[in-house]
Structure 1
Amino acid sequence: MPAIVERPAQRYVAERATVTIPEFPRIADRLPPLIGTLAARGVALAGAPFFRYRVLHPGMRFTVEAGVPVDGGFEPEDPVFTGELPAGRYVLDTYVGAPDGLAAATASVLEWGAAEGIEWDRTAGPDGEEWGCRLEVLRSNPREVPDPAQWVTDLLFRIAG
């Protein structure tokens, strides 16, 4: 069952792309080189990697960031950039399973929120639904947990206000 949690602001580095579901590996595959670059430069990770959904476009297209939380200063080179996940109240739900089940897990969280009267941090924008902060936090390292059915992903959706 989802829970409401408080989260502090968190600095991160990321790359961004607009993709469809079949194109999602194009952004997902950016995480390993991003983590490798940080490690090579001695930048410590401050948490698990994530996907941040910025805009949900019509036609099942998404503007999404592949990001990694970091502490301290790091000035990346394009196309990598720095950002900050906003502090606030979030709905947290943990999903265990392969990525193909994430859409249903997300729908379940959104339905739960609607039933609870939760107002999400999202607005209608010119290109689609813009989210203040909507995350899939990747708690499992596929190198350590090779079976996708065992992967753990935290779904975090920022609450308005």
Structure 2
Amino acid sequence: MRLTLSAARHPAVRRSHQSRAAEVGLAHNGLSDSARWQALDGVSPERDHGQMVFEVVDGPRIERRSSVPTVGIRLVTPFRGMLATRDRLLAELFSWLDDRGVQAEGPFYLRLHVVDMAADMDIEVGVAGVVAEGAGRVTAGTMPAGEYAILAYRGSSLQANRMLLGWVDDSERSFDANPASGAWAGRYEILRTDPRVERRKTAWTTELAFLLAAYG
């Protein structure tokens, strides 16, 4: 499904409560959520007649997943320019894997451990499905098991995050997250496209996978 949406919020994904926006990391702190996500993108989104292009590939839906071993690099970085940091960490991780002859089919991912758009983000860049001992800045970890809200897309990360966050907000489910601290038990942006093969970010298919709190 390919949608052309303006940068203004789409009615289908309206949020019902301001406090909910704070919980998911879209609270207003000087900049609008739109401005913050556009700053995060780090690259110009694909556009059609001056509007952002957003293509839904899969979802939104809920999927139960088993735990998966990972290796990755975790650090704290300012929100602005975060994706440039992600790209540098990906390059560092590629070299680490190559130097050790570790076969990594992926997928690669960005994990948001703590979301604070007004200050610093606690992030991890890693690869799933790899069993290896950490060394240096690379440590072993796990994608936690549980039910995830899933949305795969190409194009605007702003529209994708809004859609998935709003979809869960309109349901009876909630995220496994702490509104006070901004900590998330499992918030992933998973690259279905291998960035080692396809360098053009506009061609990437990205999967948002946000862990849900236990139901009932």
TM-score category (smaller protein): 0.7 to 0.9
CA 24–45 in structure 1, closer or farther in 2 if over 3 Å, else same? same
> Partners in 2 of 1:90 and 1:62 — Cα distance?
21
Look at both structures and tell me which one has the larger radius of gyration over its CA atoms: 2
CA 24–149 in structure 1, closer or farther in 2 if over 3 Å, else same? closer
TM-score, normalised relative to structure 2: 0.65
> Partners in 1 of 2:120 and 2:160 — Cα distance?
18
1:129 maps to 2:189:
no
Q: Deviations over 1:34-54 (max 9, x none)?
A: 123223323222531000000
State how many pairs are aligned.
155
1:75 maps to 2:133:
yes
Q: What is the aligned partner in structure 1 of residue 63 from structure 2? A: 5
> Partners in 1 of 2:64 and 2:184 — Cα distance?
17
Q: Deviations over 1:93-118 (max 9, x none)?
A: 01112xxx213311210001000122
**Higher relative strand content:** 1
Offset of 1:146 from its aligned partner?
Answer: 4.3
Offset of 1:92 from its aligned partner?
Answer: 0.7
CA 148–111 in structure 1, closer or farther in 2 if over 3 Å, else same? same
Offset of 1:76 from its aligned partner?
Answer: 1.9
1:76-155 alignment runs, 5 A limit: 76-97=134-155, 101-125=156-180, 128-142=181-195, 144-155=197-208
> Partners in 1 of 2:174 and 2:117 — Cα distance?
21
Offset of 1:60 from its aligned partner?
Answer: 5.3
C-alpha contact 1:43 1:70 (8 A) present in aligned 2: no
> Partners in 2 of 1:46 and 1:122 — Cα distance?
29
Q: What is the aligned partner in structure 1 of residue 86 from structure 2? A: 27
Query: Which segments of 5 or more consecutive residues in structure 1 lack a partner in the other structure?
Result: none
Structure 1 moving runs of 4+ over 6 Å: none
> Partners in 1 of 2:94 and 2:193 — Cα distance?
14
Q: CA RMSD in A?
A: 1.9
Q: What is the aligned partner in structure 2 of residue 64 from structure 1? A: 123
TM-score, normalised relative to structure 1: 0.85
Offset of 1:85 from its aligned partner?
Answer: 0.7
Offset of 1:58 from its aligned partner?
Answer: 5.1
What percent of counterpart residues are identical? 27
